[in-house]
Chain A
Amino acid sequence: MKITEFLEPTAIIDDLTGSTAPEVLIEMCRPLTATTGVDSQRLAEALLAREQLASTGVGDGLAIPHGKVPGLPGLVGAFGRSRAGIDFKAPDSKPAALFFTLFAPDDGRGLHLHALARVSRVFKRAAFRESLLKAKDAAEIYELMQAEDVE
């Protein structure tokens, strides 16, 4: 499963302006409204519901907020980078700077499990995280993702 299969260049925000977790989550949902036709409010609610269960901050400055949205045509993701870092209740208590947001249809096919596994695995590499933090704009971030998919 390739990341660029569910991440469009338009859904990459290289400089998140939000300063709290909910603000950031809502910010990343906005570009997805156009591609999915789903109201960004509904998308954000799915994320917040999942965060209430347990934080998706996984440590090393990364968070993978995700949620299931009934009626979604397929997997869809967004990526955001916060230069200041946001407190995301990660197990290592470090603020999160990289956010990979993921939505899956609620059809029981478990697509999100595969996507989550893929995203977790890719972001495990410190060098990849480093390069994303250093990338100058959204286009470069997308290129980095593409390069990772090829490997």
Chain B
Amino acid sequence: MRPASIILPKRFVSARRAQATGLSDQLLQAAHAHAAAAVAQLRTQPTGLTQAEAEERLEQHGANAVAKDEGHGRLKLLGKALINPLVILLAVLATVSLLTGDARAAIVMALMVILGVSLRFVQEARADSAAKKLRAMIKVTATAVRDGTPREVPLADLVPGDVVTLAAGDMIPADVRLLSAKDLFVVQGTLTGESMPVEKFDAVEPATVSSAIDLRNVCFLGTSVESGTGTAVVVSTGERTYLGSLARAMVGQQVQTAFDKGVARFTWLMIRFILIMVPLVFVINGLTKHDWKEAFFFALAVAVGLTPEMLPMIVTVCLTKGAMLMAGKKVIVKRLHSIQNLGAMNVLCTDKTGTLTAAHVVLERHCDVMLEQDDEVLVLAYLNSHFQTGLKNVLDRAILAHTELREQLRIPEHGKVDEIPFDFSRRLMSVVVALPDGGHRLICKGAPEEVYRRCPLFEHDGEQLPMETVLIDDLRLEYEKLSCDGFRVLAIAYRDFEPKETYSKADERDLVLRGYVAFFDPPKDSARPAIEALHQHGIDIKVLTGDNEAVSRKICRDVGIRLGKVLVGAQVESMSDAELGEIVDEATLFARLAPGHKQRVVAALQRRGHVVGFLGDGINDGPALRAADVGVSVDSAADIAKESADLILLEKSLMVLEEGILEGRKVFANILKYIRMGASSNFGNMFSVLGASAFLPFVPMAPLQILTNNLLYDFSQVPIPTDAVDPELIARPRPWSMKEITKFIVFIGPCSSVFDYTTYLMMWFVFKAVDPSHASLFQTGWFVESLLTQTLIIHIIRTNRLPFIQSRASLPLTLTSLAIMAFGVWLPSSPFAASLGFAELPHLYWPLLLATLFLYVLLTQTVKVWLLRKAWI
């Protein structure tokens, strides 16, 4: 089931989205009121609540938590392990056997049930608790003023009315109204996708501003302080926060993965075989042999034989083994079944900030008005950032990272005279320095359009020129090139003064425009090779970001993502799902997306038949993470993103993910080995059993022998999860293909039937087992042949190459196969032979068996190669 929003008509979706992004009235009231009024409205003091008041309110408002960490109860997990068609069928058959007095068969089947259930339960519980431990590692506290003193309070215990202090690096602990702010910059990329921090103020917000992102005196839960300090009063907590409203918007059931669906379809196919076969076998044997009791038990045993009862266990062990290996490679699997989807994934949607980029802003260019590199511009910028005493924001820090200038500039010789701090209405700031020659120089840096208005002159090539109207557009054209290349641009201007005491905003005029400094969040070194590797493994990368188009284009180019069509959020918004579906394959970059858009893009890709992965860490990524076949998040991500994800990377790197993908493909390759073997040998056995039932005067194998055969066969398959996988089997994404499985069944299955029939003929004509008194000889002959061929076929099916020579199974699998085959050969002459109804086999049987096995391997290999050449499997 997909979350309902995807299939809702668009207007409902947008209505819901509007509702989701709507703010609580209380928060708007607080934003539009004076600080004192906001405090009064929340029935608190600027000095905060008392501990008693806080406890009372906690009772009333509930914990300040959005993502409820319920985990999976042990019972729920056990239920999940039990409620499974195979387990239920086995349990029913065991009960029937018990009721009809066949305790031995019941015990055999009960053992299978217990084996399957306990392995699945233990493995899933282990993985679940690992993920839980991981989540428990993240504890966040807030500094709240209680009883007049600031103290560290667990995030969950905050209540409306609490007064909190904010400092750089803090997570905003709830939706808060600022009471004071000093150079407070907040990163709200988790909510909006913007890389750059936003400055927040304590001033009253005009009543016209009602969009969450534009409220400058409100900070939101889930965002964090980049720099600066502030105090704030908590307005809303928990699910009543903006973040909480987003979290509510992604209600809906967990999507069933392609793998889940595939396994279910396979299981139903097997169940259909059984439903047709068992009554048929029962009736034919009853009619031909007139022994209805034996016919019933024979049919029952055939049912068990046809049941791929090892499937849940093989799947779980394969997945768990993969999960453990991946944990060693910094990928934590939260939902086991997503491993296979990871291997099948052919489109990976990823966000930009922190995945492709370092999430760390650097100064990339310093240039004159014609964008030629100019060190003097950097010197001016450096002096400005160095001498300003407000909190240094990311851009200042990026400038000051050019430490090589510190010595070169002889900073001590430049005395600081004054500074005119930044404010949001001017969007620029200046410092005044005393030059070594005694003059004063005002250095201004800020938003280019603001700086332009204050510059009647610009400097180029050592000459000061007038900013004529006709020139301004040409100059603007130049710096806009930088913006279009994805840079964040600041203009640098200066003015020389005769020394005077103090300076003010009024002095920020008649400036000389000197040049620009340009910043960006550079791509990670590891991004390009990782993307190349993913491409080579057949995975298409699409970038889905909330950030602007220019920046995103640049990053895509830098990391080697081929730019196909580029779509922005507004375009996605205006398209119907059908229109989006037509373009979604070609588009590689989606910029300025809202959370709902990401989800729609993922859903559109899925409708095109892709297995879609989504890598994101923001709160705005939650819905898309849930909708994707594989949701991948990182350890440092917003809790809500982690909650929605299937996998968690301990390191936000595509390289880590790549290793996980290969592991996922190995897991799937091994599961597929089991499914192909199980399905084709069952299909073959159906022909054999039907033919034998119709033409033989006795059952071809005693019911207990069938179960023994089955149990031994199961044992031989236990080491499949340890098996090595040929490189070509994991080179491309491996989607679940029922078509391939069907081809395999139809062509490989009858191969085993052919040799079942030659064995029948051999037992009948060579060894004269032609009447019920020789039934046990006949049955023993088929038992041994059947067990050996089934065990051998693992080695042919496990590879596309020449078995034993070009590709060998893992040691445990090889040893187990040998042991089971030896055991099968030994059984008829063992002490158990009598109780299992086996007869001693004549000497001639063995060379004939050897020839049968050889021809069987030859035929199966030939058919396999033919199928591969036809590209049918």
Interfacial residues, chain A to chain B (CB-CB below 8 A) = 50, 53-54, 56, 58, 64, 66, 91, 108-110, 112-114, 116-117, 120-121
Is B369 located at the chain interface by the 8 A CB criterion? Answer: yes
Are A114 and B470 in touch, CB under 8 angstroms?
A: no
Are B470 and A110 in touch, CB under 8 angstroms?
A: no
Give me the 5 closest cross-chain CB pairs, A-B, nearest first.
A110-B370, A117-B465, A120-B468, A54-B473, A64-B470
Is B557 located at the chain interface by the 8 A CB criterion? Answer: no
Given A120-B466, A120-B468, are A113 and B369 neighbors across the interface (CB < 8 Å)? yes
Are B370 and A117 in touch, CB under 8 angstroms?
A: no
Are B471 and A116 in touch, CB under 8 angstroms?
A: yes
Are B468 and A114 in touch, CB under 8 angstroms?
A: no
Please tell me which one of the listed residues B460, B466, B468, B473 contacts residue A110 in the complex, with CB atoms under 8 A apart: B460
User: CB-nearest residue of chain A relative to B475?
Assistant: A113
Are A117 and B369 in touch, CB under 8 angstroms?
A: no
Are A113 and B469 in touch, CB under 8 angstroms?
A: no
Given A53-B473, A113-B460, A114-B461, are A108 and B468 neighbors across the interface (CB < 8 Å)? no
Are B465 and A113 in touch, CB under 8 angstroms?
A: yes
Are B468 and A116 in touch, CB under 8 angstroms?
A: yes
A58 to B467, CA, bound (A): 13
Are B460 and A114 in touch, CB under 8 angstroms?
A: yes
Interfacial residues, chain B to chain A (CB-CB below 8 A) = 368-372, 458, 460-461, 463, 465-466, 468-471, 473-475, 477
Q: Which of chain A's residues have a CB closer than 8 A to the CB of B369?
A: 110, 113
Q: Which of chain A's residues have a CB closer than 8 A to the CB of B466?
A: 117, 120-121
Please tell me which one of the listed residues B368, B371, B469, B474 contacts residue A112 in the complex, with CB atoms under 8 A apart: B474
B369 shortest CB reach to chain A, Å: 7
A51 shortest CB reach to chain B, Å: 10
A76 to B465, CA, bound (A): 20
Are A120 and B470 in touch, CB under 8 angstroms?
A: yes
The interface residues of chain B, by DSSP majority, are classed as: mixed
A50 to B372, CA, bound (A): 21
Among A66, A91, A109, A117, which residue has the most Cβ atoms of chain B within 10 A?
A117
Q: Which of chain A's residues have a CB closer than 8 A to the CB of B470?
A: 56, 58, 64, 66, 116, 120
A29 to B465, CA, bound (A): 27
Are B468 and A109 in touch, CB under 8 angstroms?
A: no
Are B461 and A110 in touch, CB under 8 angstroms?
A: yes
Among B371, B471, B477, which residue has the most Cβ atoms of chain A within 10 A?
B471
A103 shortest CB reach to chain B, Å: 13
Q: Which of chain A's residues have a CB closer than 8 A to the CB of B368?
A: 110
A79 shortest CB reach to chain B, Å: 16
- Return 12 A-B CB contacts under 8 Å, by A number: A108-B371, A109-B370, A109-B461, A110-B372, A110-B460, A110-B461, A114-B460, A114-B463, A114-B465, A116-B468, A116-B470, A116-B471
Are A116 and B474 in touch, CB under 8 angstroms?
A: yes
Are A58 and B468 in touch, CB under 8 angstroms?
A: yes
Are A108 and B461 in touch, CB under 8 angstroms?
A: no
A121 to B458, CA, bound (A): 14
Other A-B pairs beyond A109-B461, A110-B461, A114-B463, 11, CB < 8 Å: A54-B473, A64-B470, A66-B474, A108-B372, A110-B372, A113-B460, A113-B471, A113-B474, A116-B474, A120-B470, A121-B466
Q: Which of chain A's residues have a CB closer than 8 A to the CB of B458?
A: 113
A34 to B468, CA, bound (A): 31
Are B468 and A117 in touch, CB under 8 angstroms?
A: yes
Q: Which of chain A's residues have a CB closer than 8 A to the CB of B477?
A: 53
Q: Which of chain A's residues have a CB closer than 8 A to the CB of B474?
A: 50, 66, 112-113, 116
Are B469 and A58 in touch, CB under 8 angstroms?
A: yes
A120 to B475, CA, bound (A): 15
A71 to B473, CA, bound (A): 23
A116 to B368, CA, bound (A): 17
A58 shortest CB reach to chain B, Å: 5
Q: Which of chain B's residues have a CB closer than 8 A to the CB of A114?
A: 460-461, 463, 465
Please tell me which one of the listed residues A53, A91, A110, A121 contacts residue B469 in the complex, with CB atoms under 8 A apart: A91
A39 to B458, CA, bound (A): 33
A56 to B474, CA, bound (A): 10
A27 shortest CB reach to chain B, Å: 20
A109 to B462, CA, bound (A): 12
A45 to B264, CA, bound (A): 65
B371 shortest CB reach to chain A, Å: 7
A58 to B469, CA, bound (A): 7
A110 to B470, CA, bound (A): 14
Among A56, A110, A121, which residue has the most Cβ atoms of chain B within 10 A?
A110
Are A108 and B370 in touch, CB under 8 angstroms?
A: yes
A108 to B468, CA, bound (A): 19
Q: Which of chain A's residues have a CB closer than 8 A to the CB of B460?
A: 110, 113-114
Q: Which of chain A's residues have a CB closer than 8 A to the CB of B468?
A: 58, 116-117, 120
User: CB-nearest residue of chain A relative to B480?
Assistant: A53
Q: Which of chain B's residues have a CB closer than 8 A to the CB of A110?
A: 368-370, 372, 460-461
Q: Which of chain B's residues have a CB closer than 8 A to the CB of A108?
A: 370-372
Among A64, A112, A113, which residue has the most Cβ atoms of chain B within 10 A?
A113
A109 to B460, CA, bound (A): 9
Q: Which of chain B's residues have a CB closer than 8 A to the CB of A64?
A: 470
A139 shortest CB reach to chain B, Å: 27
A120 to B369, CA, bound (A): 19
Q: Which of chain B's residues have a CB closer than 8 A to the CB of A109?
A: 370, 372, 461
Q: Which of chain B's residues have a CB closer than 8 A to the CB of A50?
A: 474
A110 to B372, CA, bound (A): 9
Q: Which of chain B's residues have a CB closer than 8 A to the CB of A113?
A: 369-370, 458, 460, 465, 471, 474-475
A58 to B477, CA, bound (A): 18
A56 to B471, CA, bound (A): 9
A116 to B474, CA, bound (A): 10
Q: Which of chain A's residues have a CB closer than 8 A to the CB of B471?
A: 113, 116-117, 120
A112 to B458, CA, bound (A): 14
A66 to B473, CA, bound (A): 11
Q: Which of chain B's residues have a CB closer than 8 A to the CB of A54?
A: 473
User: CB-nearest residue of chain B relative to A109?
Assistant: B370
Q: Which of chain A's residues have a CB closer than 8 A to the CB of B372?
A: 108-110
A47 shortest CB reach to chain B, Å: 13
User: CB-nearest residue of chain B relative to A113?
Assistant: B460
A52 shortest CB reach to chain B, Å: 11
B465 shortest CB reach to chain A, Å: 4
A121 to B372, CA, bound (A): 25
User: CB-nearest residue of chain A relative to B473?
Assistant: A54
User: CB-nearest residue of chain A relative to B457?
Assistant: A117
A120 to B473, CA, bound (A): 14
A129 to B859, CA, bound (A): 99
A72 shortest CB reach to chain B, Å: 16
A108 to B477, CA, bound (A): 12
User: CB-nearest residue of chain A relative to B477?
Assistant: A53
A49 shortest CB reach to chain B, Å: 10
A53 to B477, CA, bound (A): 9
A49 to B522, CA, bound (A): 33
A56 to B468, CA, bound (A): 11
A35 shortest CB reach to chain B, Å: 23
A56 shortest CB reach to chain B, Å: 5
A149 shortest CB reach to chain B, Å: 17
B862 shortest CB reach to chain A, Å: 65
A58 to B458, CA, bound (A): 19
A92 to B372, CA, bound (A): 35
A19 to B386, CA, bound (A): 57
A67 to B622, CA, bound (A): 49
User: CB-nearest residue of chain A relative to B467?
Assistant: A117
User: CB-nearest residue of chain A relative to B471?
Assistant: A116
A137 shortest CB reach to chain B, Å: 27
A91 to B475, CA, bound (A): 19
A56 to B461, CA, bound (A): 24
Q: Which of chain A's residues have a CB closer than 8 A to the CB of B469?
A: 58, 91
A121 to B466, CA, bound (A): 8
A91 shortest CB reach to chain B, Å: 7
Q: Which of chain A's residues have a CB closer than 8 A to the CB of B371?
A: 108
Q: Which of chain B's residues have a CB closer than 8 A to the CB of A121?
A: 466
Among B370, B466, B470, B474, which residue has the most Cβ atoms of chain A within 10 A?
B470
Q: Which of chain B's residues have a CB closer than 8 A to the CB of A53?
A: 473, 477
